[in-house]
Amino acid sequence: MSQNQNRSGDNNLKYAVDIVLCVDTTASMARMLANVKQSAMSFPNRLAQEMAAKGRGISSLRLKVIGFRDYADCAEDAMVVSPFLRVPDDLDSFEKTVNALHAGGGGDEPESALEALALAIGSDWETGLDRRRHVIVMFTDASAHRLGDPRHTSAATYPQSVPGSLEELYAQWGSGQSHSARMENPAKRLLMFAPESYPWTDIADDWNNTIYFPSVAGEGLEEWEMDQIIATIANSL
Amino acid sequence: MDVEPSRTVQGARVWDHTAPGFVALSVWTERIAGRGEDADPLIVVHWPTARGLIAVFDGVGGAGRASAGSTPVGQERTQAWVAARRLRGLVEEWFVDGPSVDALHDKVVTRLAADITVRSRMRGRIHREFPSTLAALAFTMRPDGVRWDVVWAGDSRCYVVEPDRGLQQLSLDDVDGSDALDLLLQDPPMTNMVSVDREFALNRWRGQAPAPCVLVTATDGFFGYVSTPAQFEHVLLDTLWFARDPAHWGELLAERVAAYTGDDASLAVVALGFKGFGNLRASFGERRNLLRHEHDEPLRAAADRGEDAVRTARSDSWRKYRGGYEQRLAMVVGEDDR
């Protein structure tokens, strides 16, 4: 047999990618949200192009959106959570989900971003395919409320699955050999576009598999272009 | 020092050198033309002392994508690209200057990003400034065999290949987990690599083997995109089997890796104690046949029967292969005095 024919064991492993977009939908995020909406339809294709340019194929791509505001301000509309939407089959649903997000409310800082992060961590991540990537992307221009505050947890709409402290949430994220983790250590990534305030700097320093793009507090996220964000997500995979 | 390649094939570069009892070969390929973040592989030998070194360097784009600046003709270079190449220079200098791994560590800390002021605002546990892997194998040739010091940081690897024992891993990837098949399937992020913005470790380990044997260092573009750990050895020995000479072996390796890898790939090889290239090739003929029959052909057959069959074949291959492949890793803490 010629050596050119003997390639069957070569792998071409592809990536099964789940991405949860956690989007702050309070009033101050209006411009960023418009940017996200504008890019939503092209996001899967652009991500696939970035991956292809790196020589990496995607065998499965699922997207999920969590829009969050503030349980302290208005518990009724503090959280909107979509299921995982498979691309390209559910692209229309993804577009509708993103377009339904609107900026408003939230009161003053901080916001309920840690609750959104907790719900993202608890997602029904893909478990069956090779080379899984479970990516959470956080977009916010604010600090976050501390978990466990009874003024928030007493709300009827407050998710019961959210842990009572940042330490418990960290345990769910997990460290290298952690047994309490809900995330698969080799697969997980957390990308944060957030100001240098609680808890984002702590998470960037202490949690593994994180990438943090600090924004200047009070100046929003406009400095991060969507092309750069998509390239960063692809590069983190 | 840069050395002109002996062959350039479709963007891949191949270097080779032959001396009595000595065959050296290195291969460099890039996934995207002009953007390859692996540095050229390094092979240096000091004949009067019978000392040598082979090494590879993989600039870690996922951790250091920020720009380090532009070339005089305006081509932007990432920190990862710069780090791999500067690290190569520092390792070559270390080989010439002195043997202490601590001295190499100090060189890297003080000089890897010297005179470059660009810094990214990006942070987080994955991010690094000027990140690169290193896998280096410094060896001393003796009449009865070879002794080596393995130095590494990250997930590039050092190996020894013996005609009767096959491929054996000599370095432990800096990742969470150590099962080579799991690592192949999961491709986890590194927990340690060379960089300038945080502490890093240069892992080290000493060992030896009787002659003849082959020493190998490779970046994950070569071994991280095959179906099983055995498949990487099969790629090495199958291309050797069909090669006319060392340069042709390099050409075949470059061609083969381009067909399966999803990354830049580089590799450096020295074969010690063989009576010429023909003897090297013949010495691994039996081993190549074993790999073909016990690992490659079952995987090929499984590929026609779907994903479940491939998973089963991968597991079967790993179960048969693992003991030999990991036989030296059990001694990685301390010295392998075999």
Tens digit of pLDDT for each residue in B195-215?
998 899 999 999 999 999 999
| B35 in reach of chain A (CB within 8 A) | no
Q: Is the peptide bond before A110 cis (omega within 30 degrees of 0)?
A: yes
Taking residues B41-68, report their average pLDDT.
89
| B296 in reach of chain A (CB within 8 A) | yes
pLDDT > 50? residue A4: no
Quote the CA–CA distance of A14 and A55 in Å, as a whole number: 10
Taking residues B223-228, report their average pLDDT.
93
Q: Select the more confidently predicted residue: A158 or A1.
A: A158
Please provide the size of chain A in residues.
237
pLDDT > 90? residue B285: yes
Q: Is residue B80 part of a domain?
A: yes
Q: Which one of B126, B219, B312 would you mutate to disrupt binding with A, by most A Cβ within 10 Å of its Cβ?
A: B126
Each residue's pLDDT tens digit, A123-141 = 999 987 778 999 999 989 8
Quote the CA–CA distance of B296 and B234 in Å, as a whole number: 8
| B308 in reach of chain A (CB within 8 A) | no
Q: Is the peptide bond before A199 cis (omega within 30 degrees of 0)?
A: yes
pLDDT > 80? residue A178: no
Q: Is residue B102 part of a domain?
A: yes
B292 and A212 in contact by Cβ < 8 A? no
What is the model's pLDDT at position B76?
82
The alpha carbon of residue B94 is apart from the nearest alpha carbon of chain A, in Å, by 32
Q: Is residue B331 part of a domain?
A: no
The alpha carbon of residue A157 is apart from the nearest alpha carbon of chain B, in Å, by 32
pLDDT > 60? residue A1: no
Question: What residues in B contact A130, CB-CB < 8 Å?
Answer: 185
Which overall architecture, per CATH, does domain A46-236 show? 3-Layer(aba) Sandwich (3.40)
Taking residues A169-173, report their average pLDDT.
95
Helix (H) or strand (E) holding B308: helix B307-325
Work out the pLDDT band at B106, boundaries 50, 70, 90. very high
The segment with the largest mean pLDDT, out of A36-45, A173-182, B174-183, B224-233, is: B224-233
Vertex A202: Cα angle to A198 and A207 (nearest 5): 135
What is the model's pLDDT at position A2?
33
B246-260 and B229-242 are packed helices; what angle lies between their axes, rounded to 10 degrees? 140
B267 closest CA partner among B164, B120, B140, B167 = B167
Token pair of B6 as six digits? 């002996």
A129 Cβ contact partners less than 8 Å away, ≥ 6 residues apart: A16, A59, A60
Percent of chain A with pLDDT over 70: 85
Work out the pLDDT band at B269, boundaries 50, 70, 90. very high
Q: Are A198 and A143 in contact (CB under 8 A)?
A: yes
Domain count, chain B: 1
Percent of chain B with pLDDT over 90: 71
What is the model's pLDDT at position A228?
66
Taking residues B212-224, report their average pLDDT.
97
B39 closest CA partner among B60, B25, B16 = B60
Each residue's pLDDT tens digit, B254-267 = 999 999 988 899 99
B239 and A12 in contact by Cβ < 8 A? no
Helix (H, G, I), strand (E, B) or coil at B190: strand
Residue of A nearest to B122 (CA): A213
State how far the alpha carbon of B204 is from the alpha carbons of B5, B142, B335, in Å: 30, 21, 10
pLDDT > 80? residue B314: yes
Work out the pLDDT band at A50, boundaries 50, 70, 90. confident
Q: Choose among A8, A186, A213: nearest Cβ to B296.
A: A8
From the CB of residue B75, how many other CB atoms can be counted at a distance below 10 Å? 10
Q: What is the ipTM of this complex?
A: 0.79
What is the model's pLDDT at position A226?
66
Q: Is residue B171 part of a domain?
A: yes
pLDDT > 50? residue A5: no
Quote the CA–CA distance of B317 and B287 in Å, as a whole number: 15
B179 Cβ contact partners less than 8 Å away, ≥ 6 residues apart: none
| B256 in reach of chain A (CB within 8 A) | yes
B124 and A56 in contact by Cβ < 8 A? no
Taking residues B7-14, report their average pLDDT.
88
Q: Is residue B74 part of a domain?
A: yes
Residue-wise DSSP of chain A: --GGG--TTB----EEEEEEEEEE-SGGGHHHHHHHHHHHTTHHHHHHHHHHHTT--EEEEEEEEEEE--TTT-GGGSEEEPPPEEETTTHHHHHHHHHH-------SS-BSHHHHHHHHHTS----SSSSEEEEEEEE-SS-BPPTT-HHHHTSTTS-TTS-SSHHHHHHHH--TT-SS-SS-TTTEEEEEEEESSTTHHHHHHHSSSEEEEEE-TTSTTTTS-HHHHHHHHHHH-
Q: Select the more confidently predicted residue: A107 or B105.
A: B105
pLDDT > 80? residue B186: yes
Q: Select the more confidently predicted residue: B93 or A236.
A: B93
Residue of A nearest to B252 (CA): A3
Taking residues B27-47, report their average pLDDT.
93
Average pLDDT, chain A: 84
| A213 in reach of chain B (CB within 8 A) | yes
What is the model's pLDDT at position A217?
58
Each residue's pLDDT tens digit, B162-178 = 999 999 999 999 998 88
Pairing of strands A79-81, A58-68: antiparallel
Q: Choose among A7, A176, A214: nearest Cβ to B259.
A: A7
pLDDT > 60? residue A9: no
A186 and B238 in contact by Cβ < 8 A? no
What is the model's pLDDT at position A66?
96
pLDDT > 80? residue B56: yes
What is the model's pLDDT at position A6?
38
Q: Is residue B333 part of a domain?
A: no
Each residue's pLDDT tens digit, A64-73 = 999 999 999 8
B126 and A210 in contact by Cβ < 8 A? yes
Binding-face residues of B in 46-85 toward A, CB within 8 A: 61-62, 65
Q: Is residue B70 part of a domain?
A: yes
Q: Are B263 and A53 in contact (CB under 8 A)?
A: no
What is the model's pLDDT at position B308?
87
Strands (E), B163-202: 166-169
Q: Choose among A9, A13, A204: nearest Cβ to B299.
A: A9
| A186 in reach of chain B (CB within 8 A) | yes
Q: At B32, which CATH number? A: 3.60.40.10
Helix (H, G, I), strand (E, B) or coil at B311: helix
Residue of A nearest to B310 (CA): A9
Residue of A nearest to B253 (CA): A3
Work out the pLDDT band at B31, boundaries 50, 70, 90. confident
Taking residues B73-91, report their average pLDDT.
92
Taking residues B225-230, report their average pLDDT.
94
What is the model's pLDDT at position B138?
96
Binding-face residues of A in 147-176 toward B, CB within 8 A: 176
What is the model's pLDDT at position B64?
63
Range of the domain at B106: 7-326
